Structure 1
Amino acid sequence: MTEQTDTERPGIAAAIVVQDQRVLMVRRRVSEGQLSWQFPAGAVEPGESPEEAAVRETLEETGLTVTALKPLGARAHPKTGRNMSYTACTAAAGTAHVADAEELAEVRWVTLAEIPTLVPYGLFEPVQAYLNEALSQ
């Protein structure tokens, strides 16, 4: 049996995009186990920073141009085992929509109160802390 190591599998970069007291979430066409709703995210390409990947993936998936504000942290995802990085972003141009219909079924701006119904297993603590602050102002 051959196991993939973390160096063989690219890291995944997620964009935490906040606008008008809501955060951008996407629903994948194909769920990864319990993962259906998540933040725009995708593989970090060679030579790309996690922040650059988060910005690129958001544009590719949702058509929304975003600007990276700051990294929020990284971890091995408890459900998938993939190396994840999270970047706080702000919307810069465009309107979020399903731009990649092969990957996404739906795009939605959600309130802080809606997150537990879409992500019942909870968020990465630094992401939750950032959203608690950003969405309660």
Structure 2
Amino acid sequence: MTQWTVHGTRRMYESEWMSVDLDDVEVPQGERFEHHVLRLPYPSTAVVVVEDDHVLLMWRHRFTTDAWGWEIPAGRLEAGETAEDAAVRETEEETGYRTEVEPLVTINPLNGISSHVTHIFVGSNAVKTGEHDPAEAAEVRWVPLDEVPAMIRKGLVPCGITLAALTTYLTLRTT
């Protein structure tokens, strides 16, 4: 087995949201160098909410990429919160729907440069409890699941976590 060796870490930046480190690493062939690592103190959650062959999506703008796209509800866990509780809370805060959740998959979205973990759930039995948060989405819509592959091909789903969640859900529901 080949595994990198970490000889040390030097913290370059830290906030309540993240830290950026330079790790002193050595690859199995012997080369040693500094590698940037983004560390987030809390995992995040995301939810594929499905009802009657439709998925709940949010149309939103991301200033970091200056792009619009469809996304599923997602956010970070708060201190002491379970992933399941965070998934339910984030879905309701962002979309105005409360849902029951069950685990789908856990991913490391940027595992080459980040230790971050995202727990993805499937939501069901959605109940409208209020309006969506306009700071989170310009629109919330129930989209037929059979339209999702075409939306992905057209570039309307640019979020990596949303892509991973939707394609995993679509793949596993047919097996």
TMscore range, shorter length? 0.7 to 0.9
Shift of 1:102: 1.4
Letter in 2 for 1:40: P
After superposition, residues 32-111 of structure 1 pair within 5 angstroms as 32-33=64-65, 36-68=69-101, 70-78=102-110, 82-94=116-128, 97=131, 99-111=132-144
- CA separation in 2, counterparts of 1:75 and 1:104? 24
Paired residues, what number? Answer: 130
Where structure 2 has 5 or more consecutive residues not aligned to the other structure, the ranges are 1-11, 20-37
Equivalent residue number for residue 30 of structure 1: 62
Where structure 1 has 5 or more consecutive residues not aligned to the other structure, the ranges are none
Inter-CA distance 51–75: structure 2 relative to 1 (3 Å threshold): same
Question: TM-score by structure 1 length?
Answer: 0.75
**Once the two structures are aligned, what percentage of the paired residues are identical?**
37
Q: CA RMSD in A?
A: 2.9
Inter-CA distance 32–15: structure 2 relative to 1 (3 Å threshold): farther
| Bigger Rg over Cα | 2
Letter in 1 for 2:58: V
Inter-CA distance 103–121: structure 2 relative to 1 (3 Å threshold): closer
Shift of 1:130: 2.4
Shift of 1:27: 2.0
Equivalent residue number for residue 2 of structure 1: 13
Equivalent residue number for residue 130 of structure 1: 169
Shift of 1:46: 1.0
Q: Determine helix, strand or coil for the equivalent of 1:52.
A: helix
Q: Determine helix, strand or coil for the equivalent of 2:84.
A: helix
